Structure 1
Amino acid sequence: MVLPRFCASFAETREDKGMLLEVALPLALAIIMFSLGFGLTFADFGRVFSLPRAVLTGILMQVVALPVVAFVLVSLTSLPPGLALGVMILSFCPGGVTSSILTKLAGGTVALSITLTAVVSLLSVLTVPALVGWSTDYFLGSAAPDLNVTAIGMSMFVITAVPVMIGVLLRFVAPAFADRHEGKVSLVALVLFVIMVAAALADNWAMFAANLGTLAPVLIGLNAVLLLLGVVVARVVGLSGADGLCISVEMAVQNATLGITVAGMVGAVAGIPEYAVPSAVYGITMFVVTIPGVCLLRLIFGKT
């Protein structure tokens, strides 16, 4: 088995773990967030006012409903506390940078997807630190590390909000340059995402292998529930089928790299802690579940 041997050897290389956590991981996330902003315009944020019901529904579903669903699923399983916390950290993250591509595949409203990803990504600077602080105490109890929620919020602002706004501003002042290089920047972001997922799994291979039978069903179940919940709630509040498909994808496709990075902030140890494993696994399974899932949902809800 090549992959387990590779991951085991990777995990044994301890001298570079501090550098991976302190420099490479936040830098990779910053580049990924820059790629998000590089594809945005100020008009994308203006849709908050032109599509208020759809945007508000999408925000509430991501910021409130998604963590609630994750908490219920985790409470019904026997996951170790560290992995349970990791699932919750994942649930607090905004949509991933590939959500607009999958929204287009699903026949959803791509403009709404772009707006939700942008707005919730910026809101996460406030929501993620507070929710992580609560969930760490809840799941780890007396074993919980001391967290400086303010410091986590400031770190997130520097490595998420600032790169997004730099990307937006660069596109604003040099749109032709942005159009020429957006594809290259997105490719770099994708490569960095794959590297971070592989690193998180490699650094925690023993825990990943020991708990895969329990963790994978939880994450796949979470993914499936979120896809269905998005379109159902959208229909209840009177949104179009395309808007519902968009919200489903935004809920199901999470920023796994942010989850891995936040897990590192919580762990505050050399390397990548166990809390990052759910985000790393979900970074793989979300595509396996979401792509066929949205195709099915498009057949059912796409024309409503």
Structure 2
Amino acid sequence: MLLDVALPLSLAFIMFSLGYGLTFADFGRVLAVPKAALAGMVLQIVVVPLVAYLGLQLFDLPPALAFGVMILAFCPGGVTSNILTKLAGGTVALSITLTAVVSLLSVLTVPVLVGWAAKTFLGDGAETINVTAIAVSMFAITTVPVLLGLLIRFLAEDFASRSEALVSNIALVLFVVIVVAALATNWGLFVENIARLGPLLVALNAVLLVLGMVVARVIGLGGADGICISIEMGVQNAALGITVAGLVAQVGGIPEFAVPAAVYGITMYIVTIPGMFLLRKVFHEA
């Protein structure tokens, strides 16, 4: 099926665009600003799934959609988080570093966490999940494209700088296409569950944005770092969530597990864009 080929290829190009905008120096910032980088990584990898899990205890969702919410929560920050961080006055270098590092680590974290979530939310109805196969597939469609983009940037920096905007725009279009395709494929399921799914996703987004700023202040980070970490927590890689859902379901097309990621791919901007400016105002005046 065309969609089964187009979806991973589109995600691979989106991840390639992330690597295309990176330099090896970006990864060195993990050591240069260890507190901010470590805090951002822990919040993204540990706290985001924890908040999602707690949120699911308060909202009554069908098991498949609850599992889909957890898949979304396991994903790293979205590729547009760097742009939003810049617009909001956050630390762009930290945003780039967190997006890149957590995206690479997701090859290890996402398959293991998905296996746990399937048993927890689907129970006996869960299909046997091949964690190794998911890890290999994620490596092929996320890590390899990032490293390829990074390598091209290193070998042909002038060319990469000139074409970076074009590559980013193509990636943005592909992201929109993935989200629209996921919603269109599961439109009936979306309409049936949006009243229950929407409030949870909006609340999750808002809590993550606020939590990122609060934790940053508590551990002594500046407002710009707080904005960055807040956005990295609130903006998830919905395209990756949709793709992982397909890898788990092992069926043609886009499965119902992907619906939360598809919906969040839209609502996260509706919540995050006004939210980040409000947070900047509140915390800068505090």
**TM exceeds 0.5?**
yes
Matched residues in 2 for 1:301 and 1:39: separation?
30
Matched residues in 2 for 1:189 and 1:241: separation?
29
Matches within 5 A, 1:276-287: 276-287=258-269
Matched residues in 1 for 2:285 and 2:30: separation?
24
Matched residues in 2 for 1:192 and 1:48: separation?
30
From 132, 136, 141, give the equivalent of 1:159. 141
Matched residues in 1 for 2:221 and 2:184: separation?
42
Tell me, yes or no, if structure 1 residue 25 matches structure 2 residue 7: yes
Cα pair 1:48 1:115 within 8 Å, conserved:
yes
Partner of 1:125: 107
Partner of 2:25: 43
Partner of 1:300: 282
CA deviations on 1:187-219 (whole Å, 9 max, x unpaired) are 110111011001111111111000000000000
Tell me, yes or no, if structure 1 residue 261 matches structure 2 residue 261: no
Tell me, yes or no, if structure 1 residue 270 matches structure 2 residue 276: no
Matched residues in 2 for 1:298 and 1:101: separation?
16
Matched residues in 2 for 1:255 and 1:175: separation?
26
Residue type at the aligned position of 2:159 = F
Matches within 5 A, 1:200-239: 200-239=182-221
Residue type at the aligned position of 2:3 = L
SS of the counterpart of 1:276? helix
RMSD, matched Cα: 0.8
Deviation of 1:236 (Å)? 0.8
Residue type at the aligned position of 2:130 = N
Matched residues in 2 for 1:264 and 1:137: separation?
17
Cα pair 1:107 1:302 within 8 Å, conserved:
no
Matched residues in 2 for 1:52 and 1:20: separation?
41
Cα pair 1:242 1:302 within 8 Å, conserved:
no
Deviation of 1:97 (Å)? 0.7
SS of the counterpart of 1:47? helix
Residue type at the aligned position of 1:173 = L
TM-score, normalising length: structure 2: 0.99
TM-score, normalising length: structure 1: 0.93
Matches within 5 A, 1:97-108: 97-108=79-90
SS of the counterpart of 1:270? coil
SS of the counterpart of 1:157? helix
Matched residues in 2 for 1:265 and 1:19: separation?
15
Residue type at the aligned position of 1:122 = L
Tell me, yes or no, if structure 1 residue 56 matches structure 2 residue 38: yes
Tell me, yes or no, if structure 1 residue 242 matches structure 2 residue 224: yes
Matched residues in 1 for 2:285 and 2:77: separation?
24
User: Percent identity between the aligned chains?
Assistant: 67
Cα pair 1:245 1:302 within 8 Å, conserved:
no
Partner of 2:68: 86
Residue type at the aligned position of 2:43 = M
Partner of 1:5: none
Q: Which runs of 5+ in 2 are unaligned?
A: none
Q: Which runs of 5+ in 1 are unaligned?
A: 1-17
Matched residues in 2 for 1:102 and 1:218: separation?
22
Deviation of 1:19 (Å)? 2.9
Matched residues in 2 for 1:75 and 1:29: separation?
31
Tell me, yes or no, if structure 1 residue 191 matches structure 2 residue 173: yes
Matched residues in 2 for 1:43 and 1:95: separation?
20
